[in-house]
A = this chain, B = another copy of it.
């Protein structure tokens, strides 16, 4: 047998058992919070809340749906650029995210939303957003191994990824009390190094056996632009979704909007400058244009100021595009990290930059710029952290970045070793990047002619193997 990809039993078993576990755990642990429970009507009266419009739902639902689109359409379609892996890109992205959000509600719930009076996790709209965020980390990691792993491996990656995420997030946000509204550290740095480490452990020396499929065709590049654009457009919602009500969300959206705009111009400039004939490369346009959104994540709700955001975007467009041109080949040849989507350029480097920008801008915060109340509100210098000052906060921000890196790399190596076990049905080297391995293709005999462009994946694939 050429490949050991028969997932007939393992995939259904994992899906059923894990979904049943979710039901049991939700039954034991998860309830509505006071804003999504029918007791809201009583809660409102008791707390003198004048209108239903002050339910957190109305502050966050529009951003939530934008984030939701980023997770399912954004990440899913961004990965459809491969000529014969669009089903796997969008389909496995769908599967992984649907499982991940459930597990994330539990894991994050235990750490952040546990009601100690009754031992229940109380969920509302903010939990849904955070679950989507948590899954984003795993989908970033998927980008590194796209086309080289089985759906069962992806589910395992997600199970561990969400778990690791919830712990590092707790350490960074709660223990260190670092701020990370858009998740440059918690989501992007962690997710990217998690995926790169897994890819390093799963290195395939003979991957060039399927290199004829490791590229795009005209229409697959257009499909990928759907992903790019929805990510790009909705990134202001991503970075502002869980920011503070009022000016916090408002400012995070503005900063992200500006950083992303700036990135587009420097990405185009670099793409043209470094190609022999001055032509643009779709890979850069699809990916590097997003780097500014990643890098402005941590500082999005800070008083980064509009030109500060533009500067962050400016450099990230340059660095990310250079990454695709010079660093990705280096990673593959020297460090033996095969990174299908180039997440090192889109998430890892910009994520680290974002963490650093966050640390610097936190350390530089002053009462003059923020106002006394504004400073306290923005950094939550209250309760046990009432005495913290901006310079100290900067140090904790930097510590948070280190935690994200350690969890990403350490967790990735561990999970990579687990995924190296020969039981997961991953494709052989010559079957990578090929939908035919995991997808039944609905071909009809009437159209099966040689060179027929409209034929289904089964036959194109067969054709290639001749």
Contacts and interface: CB of A to CB of B under 8 A. Distances in A.
Contact of A438 (B57, B58, B279, B370): B279
A211 interface: yes
A310 interface: yes
A125 interface: yes
A431 to B, nearest CB: 13
Interface stretch (A94-102, A188-196, A354-362, A414-422): A94-102
Contact of A11 (B6, B268, B457): B268
B8 A277 contact: yes
Interface stretch (A59-67, A138-146, A386-394, A405-413): A59-67
A38 B314 contact: no
A27 B278 CA distance: 31
Contact of A246 (B44, B73, B86, B306): B44
B62 A273 contact: no
A128 B26 CA distance: 36
A101 B7 CA distance: 46
B57 A246 contact: yes
5 contacts: A7-B272, A16-B269, A19-B265, A86-B218, A282-B442
Given A11-B268, A77-B226, A80-B222, 8 more contacts: A12-B268, A19-B262, A30-B306, A62-B62, A83-B447, A211-B444, A282-B442, A453-B453
Chain A binding site: helix, strand, loop or mixed by DSSP? helix
Contacts of A13: 269
A4 to B, nearest CB: 12
- Which of A77, A223, A251, A279 is packed against the most chain B CB atoms within 10 Å? A279
A156 interface: no
A270 interface: yes
A55 to B, nearest CB: 5
> How many copies of this chain are found per oligomer?
3
Contacts of A66: 65
A264 B97 CA distance: 10
Nearest to A266: B19
A31 B306 contact: yes
Given A36-B251, A451-B452, A454-B83, A212 B445 contact: yes
A69 interface: yes
A111 interface: no
B73 A262 contact: no
B38 A310 contact: no
A68 B229 CA distance: 10
B212 A55 contact: no
Contact of A373 (B32, B41, B373): B41
B57 A212 contact: no
Interface stretch (A161-169, A232-240, A335-343, A396-404): A232-240
Contacts of A151: 268
A215 interface: yes
A462 interface: no
A394 B264 CA distance: 42
Contacts of A124: 250, 254
B65 A62 contact: yes
B283 A442 contact: yes
Interface stretch (A46-54, A176-184, A199-207, A344-352): A46-54
B460 A6 contact: no
Task: State the 10 A-B residue pairs at the shortest beta-carbon distance, nearest first.
Answer: A212-B446, A8-B278, A453-B453, A38-B374, A98-B264, A52-B246, A40-B247, A15-B269, A26-B307, A27-B307
B36 A250 contact: yes
A428 interface: no
B128 A55 contact: no
A221 interface: yes
Interface string A264-295: 11101110110101111111010001000000
Contact of A374 (B42, B87, B237, B449): B42
Given A61-B253, A72-B233, A94-B229, A446 B460 contact: no
